[in-house]
Amino acid sequence: MTALTLVDSSLRDGMHSVRHRFTPQQVAAVAAGLDRGGVDVIEVTHGDGLGGSSIQYGEALHSDAELIAAAVEAVSRARVAVLLLPGIGTLRQLREAQSLGASVARIATHCTEADIAAQQIAWAAEQGMHVAGFLMMSHMVQPAVLAEQARLMESYGAGTVYVVDSAGALVPGTTAERVAALRAALAPETAVGIHTHNNLGCGVGNALAGVAAGATWVDGSLRGLGASAGNAQLEVLVAALERSGRATGANLFELMDVAEEVVAPLMPRPQVIDRSGLAIGYAGVYSSFLLHAERAAERYGVDPRDVLMELGRRRVVGGQEDMIINVAAELAGVAA
């Protein structure tokens, strides 16, 4: 049975929940705890990846470089990963991240746009980084289409390709279908990954279904810290994987302690499935839209669920955040 690679996204996806306010000291404390807990890969950047700090995506308190350096210095065995979305992050920023010690590059595109990542994947692979292709919003296309996009990422040099449930819209059955399609389409030496959100309450269940279908890179975050309703809760996921007979190599009690004593005090609010978070999963829109939609709804006096459902009907995806204001204004019957 192939060993699992356990990945934590608390310091990247969790950035959305803390409005990108993590400090280098906080990053170091969390990364050190994850390292002690046996996590293999720790992802660190702005929530929208390298270069994401902006008015549109949210301005970070500290630079990606400061946070990456803090994480690299804090760990002794875990690898540090960075996320890059072509069109937001640049090769210059990826080069800087590598020079600081990041050794895993997660290159993310919309699930039908793998071709825009050819340059970034190829460059990172040539530099000796492990490249994980991230097919975001994977619920929006059928498994066969997703597999075709995965093959493109593999052809560019990706060593792992992910099914990414950015909206928390998948359930165990639809997750397993997509992972199985990728596993059948890719070479045996190319790993399949699974990244889940918890908007429908299926974060851990979807991760388990993905592993059962052939995923060997599996993501979670401590306390579920992540965009919208959060990610698969890492410490719960580890326990569930162990109970299902899949060894993780992690120290469960250490991860429980880090979650409780280090991460929980940093959270501005518990990671729960509230009505807006549930609406994101039901509508199938990007999880990081949550705070933007809530602010736009308050500004125009409309229900954020109506905003999210309309965004879903229009199939709005990451990079179209300006549409959130437009939709809220239209629902209110005023000009944006």
Residues in the annotated binding site for substrate: 12-13, 166, 195, 286
| Annotated catalytic residue, options 16, 46, 62, 110 | 16
Beta-bridged to residue 162, according to DSSP, are 134, 193
Residue type at 94 in one-letter notation:
L
Query: Is 110 known to be catalytic?
Result: no
Q: DSSP secondary-structure letter at 23?
A: -
Q: How far apart are CA 201 and CA 328, in angstroms?
A: 27
Q: How far apart are CA 90 and CA 97, in angstroms?
A: 11
The annotation places the binding site for Mn(2+) at 13, 195, 197
Reference 136, options 47, 59, 74; nearest CA is 47
Residue type at 112 in one-letter notation:
T
- What is the maximum span of the chain, computed from C-alpha positions, in angstroms? 58
The annotation places the binding site at 12-13, 166, 195, 197, 286
Q: How far apart are CA 288 and CA 167, in angstroms?
A: 8
Q: Say which residues have a Cβ less than 8 Å from residue 189's Cβ, sequence separation at least 6.
A: 159
Q: Which residue has the tokens 């705890």?
A: 33
- The beta strands (E) that lie in the chain are given as 5-11, 41-44, 79-84, 104-110, 130-136, 160-164, 191-195, 217-220
Q: 3-state DSSP call for residue 221?
A: strand
| Residue positions annotated with a catalytic role | 16
